A and B are shown apart, each in its own frame.
Chain A
Amino acid sequence: MLKISNLNKHFADLRVFEQFNLAVPSCGFTVLIGPSGCGKSTLFDVLMGAVPKDRGKFYWQNESVANLASKAAYMQQNDLLLPWFSLLDNALLPARIVGSNLTKANDKALDLFRRLKLNGFESYHPQEVSGGMRQRCALVRTLMFEHDLVLLDEPLSALDAITRRSLQSLLLLLQVEFHKTILMITHDIEEALLLADELVVLTHRPMSIREKLVLEIPKPRQMSDPRLVAIKDQVIQQLEKELNNAAF
């Protein structure tokens, strides 16, 4: 379990978090959704140690940690593939940097390429393939980290609607097959509803939890499911209220 306790972060006069608390259960899929500019991405920067926190504690598996840099894999909107490496070499980057057994990593990567239907494209360079394939390769790279925790920062928002739908089912793989603990940020309410075990609706700055919804609907889900439609309306209302609050 990941626990964030009493997190504080100010940028000059901007109060991003004040006494922010969040718990992410192990092997769960927790999705954060909130008005834009509420500090979701800053939360990830702080979690990963890219931006220092002012106060607060992080716990991973009941152990206090300074940040999650060596505990979590991180995937974001931008695939961040290196154009000078082939897709396979990009996927092998974490293994190469850590200095782990490359033959083993290579086998694992090839297996993941097959699973994510990237086989045959191992030697292609990122600029030679589509955005969806690049993001799938970024997903392989994320899986190549030997970490149980995965942070997803709007990983699919740069893709077109159809590609996004097909990749959402692949994100489920992270949970179902690889038993990762997932914390995801998204702006896409439907995406959140399709994937989340726990949906956390956030307030505007300073960021706090407006409502936490537990979705006990089995996955894979369909957006036409009346239960999801009902929750969707509820979430939209909540977000609209937040947006109105932010305006005043």
Chain B
Amino acid sequence: MQRSNLIAATAVIGILVFWEITCRVLQIPDFILPAPAQILTVSISKMDILLPHAGVTLLEIQIGILLSLSVAVPLAMLMFRRPAVEKALAPFLIASQAVPVFAIAPLLVVWLGYGLTSKVLMAAIIIFFPITVNLLEGFKSCRREYRILFQLMGAGFFKTMRLLYWPWALPHFFAGLKVGVSVATIGAVIGEWVGAQKGLGYLMIQSNARLRVDMVFAAILWLSLMGVGLWILVGFMERKFIHWQ
């Protein structure tokens, strides 16, 4: 563990040093490729600009995750309970994955406006699939002997769900949620690119247009940190809820 951390840290620092030296030696202008030190300086010194935008994006992602969960969890339970529903919905679910979110983003903005709603929906759509599919697979992975045991005890569907299927599926659910939170930022940012007045995606587009490439990179850095933060939060919840592993 220690050693792998060391390797990862060395690799990251190596790339950053190489990047920094290249920028300085070749005297690459800031509006083409800013050096890491410059990006870090902007990320911190322009916090008064970055923070409100980051807050908006984070809010979009969080509501998007909650919205997605509130549909995905009951839907996964329904599809598990009624395989006919799963068969009927599977083509639509897969088709929804095949459609690039970039293609629906402009439509959502037209329908739902420049505000929060369209970005929330974008984030929700992009994480819906991994959460639903992972949870459903988690339910299905429950071993037959356990199902029979519950059947023999005379447990109904909801009792079995609460006492057996749901705890059984929790590791799968969190695996899906981890994928979900790390891609949720993509949904929100694309939504902001297409049309918004706030958010890190909006800030990127604005800064790019003004050749403030260092600000674009600073926004990317903040976005990455948010993604990592959400990942760590989900990991923490995972360890808390799955105490038996």
Contact = CB atoms under 8 A, between A and B. Distances in A.
A97 B145 contact: no
Given A84-B167, A125-B244, A127-B244, A93 B153 contact: yes
Interface string A64-88: 0000011010101010101110000
Interface in B120-141: none
Contact of B159 (A80, A84, A97): A97
Contacts of B159: 97
B171 to A, nearest CB: 11
A76 B152 contact: no
A82 B149 CA distance: 11
Interface string B45-87: 0000000000000000000000000000000000000000000
A25 interface: no
Contacts of B153: 93-94, 97-98, 145
B148 interface: yes
A contact residues, range: 20 to 34
B102 interface: no
B163 A69 contact: no
Contacts of B149: 74, 80
Given A48-B152, A97-B153, A80 B146 contact: yes
A155 to B, nearest CB: 13
Contacts of B243: 84
A50 interface: yes
B163 A96 contact: yes
Interface in B226-245: 242-245
A97 B151 contact: no
Interface of A: 48, 50, 69-70, 72, 74, 76, 78, 80, 82-84, 93-94, 96-98, 125, 127, 145
Interface of B: 145-146, 148-155, 159, 163-164, 167, 242-245
